[in-house]
Amino acid sequence: MNHEDSVLLHTEGRVRHITLNRPRALNALNHAMVLRMAEALDAAEQDPSVVAVLLAGAGERGLCAGGDIRSIRDDALAGGRTSLEFWRDEYRLNARIARFPKPYVALMDGIVMGGGVGVSAHGSLRIVTERSRIAMPETGIGFVPDVGGTHLLGAAPGELGLHLALTGDAVGAADALLCGLADHFVPSGDLPALLTALDTCATPDAVVATAVRYAGTAPAGELSAHREWIDACYAADTVEEIVERLDGCGVPAAKQAAATILAKSPTVLKVTLAAVRRARRLNSLEAVLDQEYRVSSTAFTGPDLVEGVRAQIIDKDRNPRWSPAELAGVTDEDVARHFAPLGDGELGLGPATGVSG
């Protein structure tokens, strides 16, 4: 499949449709797809006949499962740099989507993870259904939430975002709405009618009004009932104390969260905690993306990314051997070096003041 087949473009009425078209790979993103999406947004912005852009995924399983992590692992093992170039363009696309001047409608139906969140949750009209499962699961593969994920999760109410960042847990429609990852719930059976109605819209305001008209009430979520222990436990200063609080608070779901966290890479857990908290203090998505690029560039050269992908995707033994294997083995210096400026290698989206955080 060439890059033009992996991202399909067509216009219905005055709406430009972008369809991720790698259904056998759950529409996982590669570099060519990112570049084609960026070109499509440029063309749609400049075309006065286009009033909105709509993003969807081919197939029945979901919008996008994230980036092509097998190829990222291969690149890391080979000592390459193509993944860094991919992230550079991907993060620029994430920022482009967030600032797109026309309605950007993302159908977050089915599985939406990692890079899939990056191309959807920064949009202006984010639609979830009862089939939506949204996650930033990077800690499970020895990586840190990126694509603006620490910006999104850092802005979630209370400590909900940090809970999702550290555990990698997926959420459904109601919890995505609660966490600010989505705007409207539309039953999956109503999506064809919604698309037909959007394609008849002649103005951006009509697009927004149509999305609101089709919106309904999502089935009940889970997180709101857990806010008390989530906010109390994740307010701790360190990952070790967070786990201790979760394990000792007497709530079964909290104890399970502690076990989930302890299965992740100790290094990326500590870096993720720092990244989300730093993201809360940064003044823009662009500054957060700059920070994430520093973190990703450092994590790319570490041992845990290749090991995590091996355990979860390649060998599927689900038994990663993290290095170091314990939280106590990760020093403050280990964490700090993930945030060190990259000199000429900076992404450079935000102001220079975004370096410190």
Positions marked catalytic? 67, 115, 138, 146
Distance separating alpha carbons of residues 164 and 146, to the nearest angstrom = 13
Q: Which residues contact 9 (CB under 8 A, 6 or more apart)?
A: 16, 17, 18, 19, 36, 40
Return the CA Rg of the chain: 20
Tell me if residue 62 falls in helix, strand or coil: strand
Distance separating alpha carbons of residues 119 and 115, to the nearest angstrom = 6
Other beta carbons within 10 angstroms of residue 40's beta carbon come to 18
Which string of b and e fits 12-39 if b means at least 16 CB within 10 Å? Answer: eebbbbbbbbbeebbbbbbbebbbbbbe
Dihedrals φ, ψ of 134, to 5°?
A: -115, 130
Smallest Cα–Cα separation from 294: which of 347, 241, 330, 344?
Answer: 347
- Specify whether the CB–CB gap between 107 and 191 falls below 8 A: yes
Show the beta-strand stretches assigned E in 86-215.
104-108, 111-113, 125-128, 133-135, 184-185
